[in-house]
Amino acid sequence: MGLLVVGSIGVDYIETPFDKIDNALGGSTTYIALAASYFTGPISIVGVVGDDFNKDHIKMLEEHNIDLEGLQIVQGAKTFRYGCRYHYDLNVRDSLYTELNVFEKFNPIIPEKSRKSSFVILGNIAPLLQENVLSQLINPKFIVCDTMNYWIDRTKEELIKVLKKVNVLIINDSEARLLSNEPNLIKAARIISEMGPKYLVIKKGEHGALLFGDNTIFSAPAYPMENIFDPTGAGDAFAGGFTGYLNKNRDFTFDNLKRAVIYGSVMASFCVEKFSTKGLENLSFLEIHNRFIEFRELSSFN
């Protein structure tokens, strides 16, 4: 059974202390779908680009068994563009420009055949758009949701409405603190869980991730990265690996969600090793499996 991914698709300029790249493929949908594509398929994406969108990007996505029927290509319009520069401390970046272009009036239209999708991941877009997507679906069974500080600050009420309907919320630690208005992450998780999501994943970057649910907590380690080349998309790659793995086996026990968190971490670790989506374009299942084993060796004791 397929997976539906809705979010942004864009073209990025990225500058790190090591190198820079322009006209690179970006957007939450892209990273999520690519990371998920190693676990399940076909993956249907819904998004919008302009007619300047590089055909090589389309070809690459299709080669990953990603169904682009829901990709609106607006003639005479430009794709969403974003530019940023990372500091020496890669946890900090400056936005250089944000040109919304076609994304400004994005109206997600779910293709007929995808309306029956039972498994959907809502990438980081406005909560009203996430709500709009959900309203087009016929009886979705499992909904994974991402968001960010921007939406928590500006559209908290709309976001909370969406949260009532989702099964898993994936956010980072600062977003969890902001959403709950509580500095202690364990307390914050309880407050957010009461907003609706049965499971909550809090990503902590170089410190790993926490999974909350079933009155249990799972602490996942971070992969020890000596050379982070480009942190862009790591959170989306995590969400893609997590959701793709769950979509494959549809086992929603806490034990299997723990494995999904590790597969999410695995995909994020591959993502940051190269520029843009390149770290997610040419992986083998053996590489992914071996890194999963490395995560286990990293954190096991008896």
| Site of interaction with its own copies (CB under 8 A) | 88-89, 183-187, 204, 206-208, 210, 216-222, 224-226, 228, 255, 258-259, 261-262, 296-302
- Least distance to its own copies, CB of residue 255, Å: 7
CB of 146 to its own copies, least distance (A): 22
- d(C-alpha 25, C-alpha 281), whole Å: 11
For its own copies, the closer CB: 125 or 210: 210
Question: Which amino acid, residue 21?
Answer: I
Q: Beta-carbon neighbour count of residue 114 at 10 Å? A: 22
CB of 248 to its own copies, least distance (A): 17
Is the Cβ of residue 216 or residue 282 nearer to its own copies in the bound state? Answer: 216
Q: Select 13 or 229, whichever has its Cβ closest to its own copies.
A: 229
- Nearest CB to its own copies, comparing residues 282 and 299: 299
* Cα–Cα separations (whole angstroms), residue 297 to 204, 207, 220, 291, 300: 20, 16, 12, 10, 6
Q: Which residue, 33 or 222, is less far from its own copies as judged by CB?
A: 222
Cα–Cα distance measured from residue 165 to residue 131, given in angstroms and rounded to the nearest whole number:
9
Q: How far is the CB of 298 from its own copies (least distance, A)?
A: 5
| 71 contacts 9 by C-beta, under 8 angstroms | yes
Contact residues for 268 (Cβ-Cβ < 8 A; gap 6+): 223, 234, 235, 237, 238, 241
Shortest CB 55 distance to its own copies, Å? 38
Task: Tell me if 247 sits within 8 A of 40, measured CB to CB.
Answer: yes
